[in-house]
Amino acid sequence: MVPPDKSVLFVCLGNICRSVVAESLLRHMVAERGQGAAWTIDSAATSDYNIGSTPDSRTNEALRRHGIEESEHIARQITKKDFEQFHYVFGFDVSNMSRLERMKPSGSSVVVEMFGKYGAKGKDDEIVQDPYYSNGTAAFDKVYDQCWRACEHFLNKVVSS
């Protein structure tokens, strides 16, 4: 059984960059609205590359630069059970979405969507690119900006419906 609509799982390749930023932002935003206790928010990876790892240091640097508390998340891989425990499961790129759609149990009512579609400035802005292999912090700031917009638009949609 899928829980109420205030349960979200963010899923990227390694669970040390994009999904952690989105999880941290959504937690921050619902807490600011006084709704933190009403939400279940987590993140996971499609791969097993980083299981047990803490977020990439550039992830936490980006969060800090924007006044968001650093994440202490420990990377984990998505499981079939996650599709029963969350109402929304969000991917960040075509590869994530393909993997999530293949994993989604037949007949499941879980909503599997590209997270970037919320708040995208256009079709080209829906994909949140993996910043891991980039040099410096600019790609992490772009991920932060895309996730901020997406979280705002997603919250406004869920709260208003």
Mean pLDDT by runs of 10 across the 161 residues of the chain is 79 98 98 93 97 98 97 98 96 97 94 93 88 95 97 88 59
SS (H, E, C) 1-23: CCCCCCEEEEEECCCCCHHHHHH
Pairing mode of beta strands 88-91, 40-45: unpaired
Catalytic residue among 18, 27, 58, 82: 18
pLDDT of 122: 80
The yes-or-no answer on residue 147 being catalytic is no
* pLDDT score, position 15: 98
- Give residue 155's identity as a one-letter amino acid code: L
130 classed as catalytic: yes
What is d(CA 22, CA 123) in angstroms, rounded to the nearest whole number?
19
Q: For residue 8, which phi and psi values (nearest 5 degrees)? A: -135, 135
Q: Is 18 a catalytic residue?
A: yes
Query: What is residue 1's predicted lDDT score, i.e. its pLDDT?
Result: 52
Query: Cα(first)–Cα(last) distance of the chain, in Å?
Result: 21
- State the catalytic residue, choosing from 27, 58, 130, 151: 130
